[in-house]
Amino acid sequence: MSAPKTQDIVAKLWTLCHVLKDDGVTYHQYVNELTYLLFLKMAQETGSEQQIPSGYRWADLLSRDGTALLEHYRTLLVYLGTHGSPTVQAIFHDASTSVRQPRHLHKLVTDINALDWYSARHEGLGDLYEGLLEKNATETKSGAGQYFTPRPLIDSIVAVCRPQPGEVIQDPACGTIGFLVAAHRFIQAQTDELFLLSPEQREFQQRQAYVGMELVPDTHRLALMNGFLHDMHGPVILGDTLGNEGKRLPVSDLILSNPPFGTKKGGGLPTRDDFTFPTSNKQLAFLQHIVRALRKPAGKKPGGRAAVVVPDNVLFEDDIGAHIRTDLMGKCRLHTILRLPTGIFYAQGVKTNVLFFDRQAADTGATDEVWIYDLRTNMPAFGKRTPLEREHFAEFEAAYGKDAYGRSKRIDQGTTGRFRRFTREQIRERGENLDLLWLKDDTHTHHDDLPEVEELVASVLGKLDNAVAEMRALEKELAK
């Protein structure tokens, strides 16, 4: 959790968005705008301005006013897209400003400059930026929640997966690299901020350990900024994991991810040519990538492990879905499923789970039992009134145990506990359906079905939109 001073600074930065309302700037545009300005200011604060060409630094903005300031800022955004360090060029790639009024830009620059940067440096500039991203995600008008996984959930997943120094840690749908940052913090805590590592090991952690891929350019920009402020300089690639670019991602020791929900636009299939099972379902496609990207066991070293957030349909979808689950349980030991509470993501009706599995040497027979922890039934409706906190995962973490591969001794709690074991044979008899329930829901009322109805309506409307778009495209082709 952010320190008090950091929270104050985040609140002040967020209130500056009201300055741009008259310019018609959206919340997401505002975060991009802040990213450009904060990068310049934070480069000054961290003594790393040498990567920015002279004449295009923070002081050069601060020394101008009026039309001259806005004109220089516009020039700066274009210039830094092709000049400076690779990080600078990547962050400012295709950058542009939504600010039209010079006085608005001048207020942004002067107010940012007047913040308590001594406290921000002391408490961590990375924490400050993470706080800003979280604020953007929880602001429903921004629409940014689609790539934001709740931090308490991320921290709990990382705690049980126990990332280690020297491991390649990947997120193939990295968003703003929340999972990778949490893994980095975990390792820092175990190594006295990396000081217990050798120079070579520190270099690996900062330059090679963390790998991500992100499809959306603006989100990729935020990810690069987040990595820069956490001194994480591993490759975060702009590309489509479900296309052949995804094959560039390395074999990994640990994969942590919350892939996007839904289907590809227009219902098309991924263009990746090495997937065994063709599907337009993004999560099922990402599962295939993750199984392929996990390192196989070598000698005494166990195989790579993964924790992946997926919606309920991944647990029960027939046909291709069943084949993909069979393949997963054959090649990997799917040892734990965490059923998550509702209301923790931006779409209230979405029901999600976390799959925990590790790669085995053979391609069949890897899973002999699956433990399911139900953190959904008879849990409160989370949201702004009842925020999700780390302590909500305490019992799950204790049940999971201290073994990163879920191999700690577990006690069958019968039909009354939240943690229950199911054999591979039981799952096979259910047609590979992993949507297993045993707890009685004492809070269920007819109102609980409303989010599902809303989700269904949204899904139908989305399919209609796709169908209309395809018909129009066909009409244009026929017109030619």
**Whether residue 303 has pLDDT greater than 60:** yes
The verdict on 95 and 204 lying in the same domain is: no
The verdict on 108 and 219 lying in the same domain is: no
Q: What is the pLDDT of residues 106-140, one digit of tens each?
A: 999 999 999 888 888 877 888 888 888 888 777 65
Q: How confident is the model at residue 269 (pLDDT cuts 50, 70, 90)?
A: confident
- Domain final residue, candidates 134, 157, 186: 134
Q: What is the pLDDT of residues 165-185, one digit of tens each?
A: 999 999 999 999 999 999 999
Percent composition of the chain: helix, strand, coil (DSSP 3-state, to 5) = 50, 10, 40
In a domain, 385, yes or no: yes
**Whether residue 477 has pLDDT greater than 70:** no
In a domain, 84, yes or no: yes
The verdict on 372 and 466 lying in the same domain is: no
In a domain, 440, yes or no: no
**Apex CA 305: angle with CA 314 and CA 198, to 5°?**
145
Q: How confident is the model at residue 310 (pLDDT cuts 50, 70, 90)?
A: very high
The verdict on 206 and 89 lying in the same domain is: no
Q: What is the 3-state secondary structure (H, E, C) of 421-447?
A: EEEHHHHHHCCCCCCCCCCCCCCCCHH
In a domain, 479, yes or no: no
The verdict on 31 and 72 lying in the same domain is: yes
The verdict on 284 and 205 lying in the same domain is: yes
Give the mean pLDDT of the chain.
Answer: 87
Q: What is the pLDDT of residues 2-37, one digit of tens each?
A: 566 778 888 888 888 777 776 777 777 888 888 899
The verdict on 348 and 258 lying in the same domain is: yes
The verdict on 125 and 156 lying in the same domain is: no
Count structural domains, the chain. 3
Query: What is the mean predicted confidence (pLDDT) over 366-384?
Result: 91
- Domain final residue, candidates 102, 134, 166: 134
C-alpha 290/C-alpha 239 separation (Å) is 16
In a domain, 106, yes or no: yes
**What is the SS3 assignment for 470?**
helix
pTM of the entire predicted model? 0.87
The verdict on 339 and 259 lying in the same domain is: yes
**Whether residue 100 has pLDDT greater than 80:** yes
The verdict on 158 and 55 lying in the same domain is: no
Cα(first)–Cα(last) distance of the chain, in Å?
58
| CATH at residue 128 | 1.20.1260.30
Tell me, what DSSP letter sits at residue 449?
G
The verdict on 110 and 177 lying in the same domain is: no
Q: Given this model, what pLDDT does residue 40 score? A: 96
- Domain final residue, candidates 107, 134, 161: 134
With CA atoms as reference, report the closest residue to 394 among 185, 156, 150.
Answer: 156
| CATH at residue 284 | 3.40.50.150
Host domain of residue 76 = 4-134
In a domain, 438, yes or no: no
Q: At which residue do the structure tokens 């591979």 appear?
A: 424
**Whether residue 462 has pLDDT greater than 60:** no
The verdict on 316 and 458 lying in the same domain is: no
In a domain, 319, yes or no: yes
In a domain, 437, yes or no: no
C-alpha 480/C-alpha 477 separation (Å) is 5
